[in-house]
Structure 1
Amino acid sequence: MEKTTVLGKNRTGIDMSPIDAKEMMALAKITPSSSTGDEQAIAEMRSQYIREAEVIGSIPPPGTLKGMASTAMEKLTGKNPEVFIDKLGCRLAFERAGVRLYDALITKCAASSNGSIVPIERLREFRNEELEHFKLVERAIRSIGADPTAQTPSADVDGMASIGLVQVLTDPRTSVAHCLEAILIAELADNDAWQLLIMLTEKMGMDDMARDFQNALREEDEHLAHIRQWFKQMVMEDAAVVT
């Protein structure tokens, strides 16, 4: 297997120029600070923004009579269906992103001489299962009268949090191991999110939906186990510590 972590002309560390490093540190001691105080000032500014900020988004009202009736019924029983809809919307967005992440990983492995450790056909299976999970959540949202095209607050936050993962997968310079680590981060988050969604679904009394989600979680467990193993194997072989 071709090594992807190699010695090279990395000049980012201070030890690459010890003479300049001493001069820089000496100047730092006598140069006035660009600002007075410590991190407290920025903390106070952030706190002010937090106090003045509105919520990041909202759940749209149901667009169908069925949805309005269902929402009203849950309100009468003391439940908050908007939280459930928010997490459904979040899962929908994440599964859609998962399809794109696996598409990028498949391309990376196919183009890399270092990707043979990862079976591409297996990745395609995982990618297709992510797509089926997306369709599953879409049907679930429609079944309760909500709109699957709405961007819920949690979906918005998760989208922002996953931008870095997309950048890792689509950067032509990253290795297969880098990309597996990014997918591993996504699968770990996805696994916990499915467990929480199943718990919410059961509390809302939607047993059939919860069973469907349990099947999806079992497939996600399989994704996680394989991605974790491939990543570990690739790193250990790259380090030449595997016999």
Structure 2
Amino acid sequence: MKKLAEKNPEKLVDLLHERLTFERTSVKLYDRILRQMEASEDPQVRGMLDTMQAYRDEEAEHQAWLEEQIQALGGDANGESEMSRLVAQEARGIEQVILREDVALQHLFHALMAAELVDNAGWDLLAALAEEADDDDALDSFTLRQAEEEDHLEYLRQTMSRYAESQVLGGRLQLPTEP
């Protein structure tokens, strides 16, 4: 991450704070959805638990990794930045949907998919910056996490597609069990 931080380390820390804020939010969102899934009596929903737990754990790993990177660059992982405040404000709507108790699981998946779209865009930006700075180490770290986020997004797309197929075209709902 040294090459990437050469010109403006404070701004890089700001962008990493933005990612960190979103990863912290993602962990909360996954925790909420997992609680509802665990309470479900639907075997298909319960069949998704291992995958969703793995994705939640990856979000937590991303959070821990970002905290380490911010600290390595001299930043305060528990502090705030301009971008972290912005992303926290942007995420409030998604949080309001997911953290309510009376929301159907299908709608929770939809809100989580929206969060994953934003998450993917954030990692994509960091990867593009690392590539432009010719920082191969940072690029490898960012693209690894970006690929994991893409897996999360694709799984949620499949889930939402199957809900839509069942509701619009009729037939039995077949939720994905494997990514």
> Hey, what does 1:208 align to over in structure 2?
137
> Hey, what does 1:112 align to over in structure 2?
40
User: How far off is 1:146 after superposition?
Assistant: 1.9
Written as runs of structure 1 = structure 2, the 5 A alignment for 1:38-53 is none
For residue 28 of structure 2, what is the aligned residue in structure 1?
100
Q: Are 2:15 and 1:87 equivalent residues in the alignment?
A: yes
Deviations 1:33-77 (A, max 9, x none): xxxxxxxxxxxxxxxxxxxxxxxxxxxxxxxxxxxxx8xx93xxx
Q: Please give the alpha-carbon distance, in whole angstroms, between the structure 2 residues aligned to 1:201 and 1:146.
A: 19
Which of the residues 181, 187, 195 maps onto 2:110? 181
- CA 143–205 in structure 1, closer or farther in 2 if over 3 Å, else same: farther
Question: Secondary structure of the residue that 2:44 maps to in structure 1?
Answer: coil
Q: In the TM superposition, what whole-angstrom CA distance separates every residue of 1:163-198 from its partner, at most 9, and x where no partner exists?
A: 111121122221111001100100001101101012
The answer to whether structure 1 residue 150 and structure 2 residue 59 are counterparts is no
Q: Which residue, 61, 66, 86 being the options, matches 1:132?
A: 61
Q: Contact 1:141–1:147 (CA<8 Å) still a contact in 2?
A: yes
Aligned pair in 2 of structure 1 residues 210, 93: CA closer, same or farther (>3 Å)?
A: same
| Deviation at residue 125 of structure 1 after TM alignment | 0.2
Contact 1:177 1:231 in 2 (8 A): yes
Q: Deviations over 1:59-111 (max 9, x none)?
A: xxxxxxxxxxx8xx93xxxx333221111000011111111100001112222
Q: Which has the higher contact order (CA 8 A, sep 6+)?
A: 2
Aligned positions of 1:192-207 closer than 5 A: 192-207=121-136
1:141 to 56, 64, 70: 70
- Alpha-carbon shift at residue 113 of structure 1 (Å): 4.2
Question: Is there any run of 5+ residues in structure 2 with no aligned partner, and where?
Answer: 173-179
- 169, 188, 192: which is aligned to 2:98? 169
SS in structure 2 at match of 1:195: helix
TM-score, normalised relative to structure 2: 0.84
Q: Tell me how far 1:207 sits from its aligned partner.
A: 2.4
C-alpha distance in 1 between matches for 2:39 and 2:130:
41
Q: Which runs of 5+ in 1 are unaligned?
A: 1-69
Give distance in 2, aligned partners of 1:168 and 1:113. Answer: 22
Percent of pairs identical after alignment?
Answer: 30
Contact 2:34 2:49 in 1 (8 A): yes
Deviations 1:105-131 (A, max 9, x none): 111222234583461111100000000
Query: Which structure has more helix as a fraction of its residues?
Result: 2
Compare CA radii of gyration and give the structure with the larger one: 1
Shift of residue 242 of structure 1?
Answer: 4.2
- Answer whether contact 1:90 1:155 (CA < 8 A) is retained: yes
The CA RMSD over aligned residues, in Å, is: 2.1
Contact 1:140 1:209 in 2 (8 A): no
